[in-house]
Structure 1
């Protein structure tokens, strides 16, 4: 039989979740490599705006919630960068988004098992004499092959623009994920429209409002949602982002899960109270003395059509309570329309082994393992299990817990302590 060096784990994608996996694997004997097609770690670079913060406390770093003594904790990062006293006086749980990104880059530079500029092209599951994965990776000009007993998918979600408008994308019509890169050009426009009512939309609108007096553009903000509502951030509401709630949700019936998720949008899709307050206070200041409101803000309004008119966009808007249409013109349109998980192209060769539910979504067991047609090799998923595990899937605060569950399974023992009773309330009988 062909001799091969078989790793215990290959991670695909190096975002916060697989970065945490690699950091937590450092305390084990497992051999691993993680591949990322970007040149370096860079977390949502298009939204790394000055003044923006994480929406979770700093303890939601990549390790602390299962290993507070880890050398890769955020507090140790501060210690190594001689910023502990400054952070102490900073007195905030929600840290700057730029600092979180720099923290993750520091961890990435400290780990030896990460390979950047490495695009996974194909995964093949072999089941002949032994069960293992063959992973083909494009690294610069070279194509290399790696082998592993387990694969952990952490490729993240991708920006989504409604299908009818995807062909319109340009420097003047783009997703909010690209805002920072296109910001300077956007500020030169005569009119700007933001579509959406999540945190990204709120942060972009606030940034544009701050520049408006100098740049003099017309600014509009529309959403098809019922309003510009705050994200649920009460302490008992936050308990939905816990191992206890994840366990409860997982054991609900499939149809029930879909209905529950539809009613939980504001647990993770709204705007922070601070951002809403910042916007309102700026509007209040700008309208002193009877000055005109510097922005059009309107909910219950859906973008139904776009036509190009020279260098501008003619937008058709539908207010669905009034059942009325209106047209407006905007030079730049920023679509803050969220993200979606998709099955990457390199998984095409695996489709015969994957099990899907009636909605075409991956079947995933309680321990984050994708259900396969064969046994012996595990395929785990990071932030692709919203439909099976609930609202905590994309939450940074549960990333370390999920990684601990995965590592304990692979090791066949309790490497990291996982405990129940993490919340005060009960979610069911």
Structure 2
């Protein structure tokens, strides 16, 4: 198996000056969710569809692609299976094409290695005719006269196609924004990160940066944040400790290094049934629930916790390794770069209120990802309905509300945590959401979506 990025595809360009046909749906960004949409769209006859991404090829979280890491959801949460299990783009068909069906059957793996899932997605992305990499959507306008969205397409650096000085345009009746989230770095770390970017960075860059820390002779590393990424980074640093010789500190403002809640009835809170219920709640109630339900999407899987504890026990037996410190209930208040080159972190304990200063050689910020407002939507910003916190106002069908004169659909993928709950970033909702969007775009039920997804009745 290889996770090497595949060659880019050229963007759509007019032939002999002719305007290309109007798209029924244009997808902006090709992450797992718009890739799922693309795989499902491939089965819809007479649908004019195209997905664009500025990257040269599909690549999913390369900075966290540990060989030992597993997907936190089952393999059925692939691009299509929860809606169209017979699709040729299913994970099982990927296994069959790679002659791994029997080994997979014998392995009895419900949670597959993350690198295998990434390779599966790259396999689909390289073969789906609707995917167009190396193409940046730099602007979106609403053409009121034709009642269509107009996308400005510019080849990304190094991509084949027309020059950046001569971008092309493409008209579409509907758009699906799937550019995802971006790494979030706390304000407290902004200045140290600017001064020492090779020693203060987001966990998403970990595998690209960790050898550099060792080469610089860093003796102390601190991980901030206790989600799955923070746990995996800490475990990786702990396993490298014998050779690197660094001491480690792991801190989190949460009450503890808590597990992802993977109990069966709680998992129903990531189903379409709860998603529909959640969307109908008052916005203030939704925000309160999201804050209280963080273990649905921010916790650590128990297998990773067990691996960390086993490594810590080995550390105890060794007796001669550098110290390891775990600090729950500890918030990061500030950070500065000292004259001696160390990063000085100011922390506060949640229970005692005690503040202290911690000196460290490097900081890996496992502080999550935040929704971003894509720059390409700037030209239509005033046509979009935003809530009081500057977030999309999104209906139950994942369509962003707009001013009445905009008749074209503007759909979003994984930008609706605040309106649809913990299911929004969950891979298990991808196929369902994609099918919902395609049913809306075509005006008919192209895909039968499951009606019964939970035993619980939400809302009484």
Alpha-carbon separation, structure 1, partners of 2:333 and 2:402: 40
Alpha-carbon separation, structure 1, partners of 2:142 and 2:362: 46
Post-superposition shift, 1:69?
Answer: 0.2
Aligned to 1:276: 305
Post-superposition shift, 1:14?
Answer: 0.3
Post-superposition shift, 1:187?
Answer: 3.3
Superposition map of 1:182-331 within 5 A? 182-188=209-215, 189-288=218-317, 294-309=323-338, 310-331=340-361
Which of 192, 201, 209 is residue 174 of structure 1 equivalent to? 201
Alpha-carbon separation, structure 2, partners of 1:418 and 1:302: 43
Q: Which moved more, 1:133-142 or 1:114-123?
A: 133-142
Is 2:69 the partner of 1:39? no
2:201–2:364 CA contact under 8 A, matched in 1 = yes
Q: Which moved more, 1:142-151 or 1:98-107?
A: 142-151
Superposition map of 1:69-108 within 5 A? 69-108=86-125
Alpha-carbon separation, structure 2, partners of 1:349 and 1:10: 17
Superposition map of 1:15-34 within 5 A? 15-28=31-44, 29-34=46-51
Alpha-carbon separation, structure 2, partners of 1:138 and 1:258: 37
Aligned to 1:352: 382
Q: CA RMSD in A?
A: 1.5
Which of 400, 424, 429 is residue 370 of structure 1 equivalent to? 400
Post-superposition shift, 1:40?
Answer: 0.6
Alpha-carbon separation, structure 2, partners of 1:289 and 1:243: 49
Summarize deviations over 1:274-318 as a string: whole Å, max 9, x none. Answer: 111111111112212766784100011122222213432122222
Aligned to 2:14: none
Residue 293 to residue 149, structure 1, CA distance change in 2 (3 Å): same
Which of 169, 177, 193 is residue 153 of structure 1 equivalent to? 177
1:283–1:294 CA contact under 8 A, matched in 2 = no
Summarize deviations over 1:47-94 as a string: whole Å, max 9, x none. Answer: 111100110000000100000000000000000001111111221111
Aligned to 1:388: 419
Question: How many pairs were matched up?
Answer: 427
Aligned-partner SS, 1:6: coil
Alpha-carbon separation, structure 2, partners of 1:190 and 1:409: 56
Post-superposition shift, 1:375?
Answer: 3.9
Residue 53 to residue 289, structure 1, CA distance change in 2 (3 Å): closer
Alpha-carbon separation, structure 2, partners of 1:180 and 1:123: 35
TM norm structure 1: 0.96
Alpha-carbon separation, structure 1, partners of 2:136 and 2:192: 27
Alpha-carbon separation, structure 1, partners of 2:189 and 2:430: 33
Which of 3, 27, 30 is residue 14 of structure 1 equivalent to? 30
Aligned to 1:61: 78
Post-superposition shift, 1:322?
Answer: 1.7
Alpha-carbon separation, structure 1, partners of 2:299 and 2:239: 21
1:223–1:299 CA contact under 8 A, matched in 2 = yes
Alpha-carbon separation, structure 2, partners of 1:289 and 1:47: 28
Post-superposition shift, 1:110?
Answer: 0.9
Aligned to 2:429: 398
Post-superposition shift, 1:4?
Answer: 5.6
Alpha-carbon separation, structure 1, partners of 2:235 and 2:109: 21
2:83–2:431 CA contact under 8 A, matched in 1 = yes
1:63–1:70 CA contact under 8 A, matched in 2 = yes
Unaligned runs of 5+ in 2: 1-17
Unaligned runs of 5+ in 1: none
Aligned-partner SS, 1:225: coil
Is 2:391 the partner of 1:361? yes
2:189–2:200 CA contact under 8 A, matched in 1 = no
Alpha-carbon separation, structure 1, partners of 2:317 and 2:63: 33
Q: Which moved more, 1:140-149 or 1:79-88?
A: 140-149
Aligned to 1:162: 186
Q: Which moved more, 1:54-63 or 1:311-320?
A: 311-320
Q: Which moved more, 1:253-262 or 1:271-280?
A: 253-262
Aligned-partner SS, 1:351: helix
